[in-house]
Chain A
Amino acid sequence: MRKYLLKRIFYLILTLFIVATATFFLMKLMPGTPLQNEAKLTPSEKAAILAQYGLDKPVWMQYFIYIGGIFKGSLGLSFQFSDQAVSYLIGSRMGPSMQLGGQAMVIGVVFGIILGAVGAIRKDTWADRIATIISILGIAVPSFVLAILLQFYLGLKTGWFPVAGWQGFLYTILPTLALAASPLAETARFIRTDMVDVLSSDYIELARAKGLSKFGIVYHHALRNSLIPMVTLIGPLAAALMTGSMVVENIFSVPGIGEQFVKSILVNDYPTIMGVTIFYSALLCVLLLLTDIIYGIIDPRIRLSGNGD
């Protein structure tokens, strides 16, 4: 187990390094500079500012300086927010993003499992059909469309929820719903397919022959066996939440990392773009690692080992 973990952590660092490198050079290909009023600056002023931030050096040198900084534990200073440290920026904006992501994940997965299980247990009935329609809609409707619809109907028209902003729990509800739709739909679809399979297996027949109730069979035997493959969804779901959050946070003006990320791209805030990218990648890699570890815990047939693959 320990050997396995060390191996995985090594790969994780390697992955992050590759992501950082790719992002750095792609970012440099973007048009524009971080300068705000470029037209009004004299060439000497411009040169001075670029020199101050090390942007006058060749790109490869900037790259090594940046990577060197990372190894010293620094993500650099943001351009747009008067030289705040990027790590501080991410830290201060992590709260709203994590809260939204967490809420959306819980709602999506829990209701997705319920929806999928109901569909499987009541296969080919109206309940199954409704569940299927909901999950198809959840996958087909992009989060920004859903976000705007929610804003319009539940925010503007009825006035039940605030349209945008971030001043308490009530403000989190609409963005959470918008963000939860996709994980909910994915989960429901996944669980339904899986549970239909499981429910027709021999050990479910044996469970019925034991005299267990329908609920007992689903709860003790079907659910666990259907949930195992579900663990593999955690990674993709987390990725979906992260990208979703960029859109949703912008629409609802949530002061989260996603919103920050989009802003930094628009103004070429290089250190922030890099920092957020690395942060997102690290988060995803850690989640994937956790997925594999959890898989080993809930499915006794899989035991992690350091040797071989």
Chain B
Amino acid sequence: MDQAENIIEVRNLKIDFHTYAGEVKAIRDVSFDLRKGETLAIVGESGSGKSVTTRSLMGLLAPNAEIKGGSIMFHGEDIIKKSEKDMQHIRGKDIAMIFQDPMTSLDPTMRIGMQIAEPLMKHKGLKKKEAIAQALEMLKLVGITDPEGRINDYPYQFSGGMRQRIVIAIALVCYPEVLIADEPTTALDVTIQAQILDLMKDLQNRINTSIIFITHDLGVVAGMADRVAVMYAGKIVEYGTVDEIFFNPQHPYTWGLLNSMPTLDTASGSLSAIPGTPPDLLDPPVGDAFAARSDYAMKIDTEQEPPFFKVSDTHYAATWLLHPDAPKVTPPAEIVRRQKKFAAMQKPASPVKPAAAKE
């Protein structure tokens, strides 16, 4: 399944959180690859483990988290085995991160120029003057008007959208190979969202960085991602190219997610929510964790965990529905409509995904 070079390979990652109530199995055997220059979206509802997964790439897990197994290979080395000191040389230089809330993620008492310059001084050994000069370039790049006049301003003097641009400038100032964006537009209003997403795409092309984009907003995914991994209850349940996930989804959870998303040509007038709540990961259910909420659950779903079934070279889903012996089921009407569209799109399937996959 490899065409492009993998930058990060996560294999069988397991992470527990020690809490007063017991061990929360937050990440239960997650594997995925991140390829050079691509945008991988990780989608899932709150608590599905998407943020924890990416924090482990940065070595920024909470103190009560423990990695129980697996590996995260980056440049042929396992990040999990690295010391805090080694991780400090990777963070901000090779792997950078953008956070959710730009209103609180900048130091309120430091001039923004200095905040952007900091990683340069740390990782490139630049003097303050040179670093500030490069920070100025970065401010121009992220589209701050009058960068010379504003480089010495403090965060409180900027709006939310502008602050997120500054956070992006901080993340990209060392030209990292991997950028982790943890719901970078959730806290912004819709018009600003679009601007920030455009900016990220533009910068990605310029400095050829790979992006892991965490979100629960499928609408954002459609315009942003090359590939999508759907997470549920600490596991990846389905992954594929953005077209495959949007137009040929296989896992009932993905169906549910897409079904609850409004589109211009949604057939019926109403949206359907996924019933129930995610399982308690203190004591994860046996079998398919989504079975309890699924209309399509079979007996085996509560007994045995489904392996990944291959849908195409790039598309895998962990649901027993794909087993050859499984009964044929009809997905929800909206999904059928999407799958018809997908069939029409599938002329000669090109290995490289066409970029214009607008939903």
Chain A residues with CB under 8 Å of chain B are 201-203, 205-214, 216, 220-221, 224-225, 228, 298-301
A212-B123 Cα distance, complex, nearest whole Å: 9
Smallest CB separation, A229 vs chain B (Å): 12
A207-B118, A211-B123 given; name 7 further pairs at CB < 8 Å: A202-B99, A203-B105, A203-B106, A203-B108, A210-B96, A216-B122, A301-B154
Complex contacts, A202 vs chain B, CB 8 Å: 99, 101, 104-105
Which B residues fall within an 8 A CB radius of A?
58, 60, 84-85, 87-93, 96-97, 99, 101, 104-110, 118-119, 122-123, 154, 156, 167, 170-171
One of B88, B97, B104 near A203 (C-beta < 8 A): B104
* Complex Cα spacing A299 to B155, Å: 12
Question: Given that A202-B101, A301-B156 are contacting pairs, would A212 and B107 also be in contact in the complex, using a CB cutoff of 8 Å?
Answer: no
Interface SS of chain A: helix, strand, loop or mixed?
A: helix
Residues in A neighbouring B170, C-beta threshold 8 A: 206, 210
Question: Which A residue's beta carbon lies closest to that of B153?
Answer: A300
Given contacts A210-B92, A210-B119, contact A205 B60 (CB under 8 A): yes
Contacts of A221 in B (CB 8 A): 107, 110
Which one, A211, A216, A228, contacts B90 given CB within 8 A?
A211
Whether B91 lies near A210 (C-beta < 8 A) is yes
Pairwise interchain contact A225-B58, C-beta atoms closer than 8 A: no
Q: In the complex, which residues of chain B have a beta carbon less than 8 angstroms from the beta carbon of A209?
A: 58, 60, 91-92, 96-97, 99, 171
**Sample of 17 A–B contacts (CB below 8 Å):** A203-B104, A203-B106, A203-B108, A206-B106, A206-B107, A207-B118, A209-B60, A209-B96, A210-B96, A211-B90, A211-B92, A211-B93, A211-B123, A221-B107, A221-B110, A300-B156, A301-B156
A225 adjacent to B105 (CB under 8 Å):
no
Q: How many whole Å from B106's CB to the nearest CB in chain A?
A: 6
A-B pairs with lowest CB-CB distance, top 7: A211-B92, A211-B91, A210-B92, A202-B104, A202-B105, A209-B97, A300-B154
Which B residues are in CB contact (< 8 Å) with A208?
Answer: 60, 91
In the complex formed, the residue of B with least CB distance to A198 is B107
Q: How far is the CA of A301 from the CA of B154 in the complex (A)?
A: 8
CB distance from A183 to the nearest CB of B (A): 24
Closest to B60 in A: A208
- Nearest CB to that of A204 among chain B residues? B107
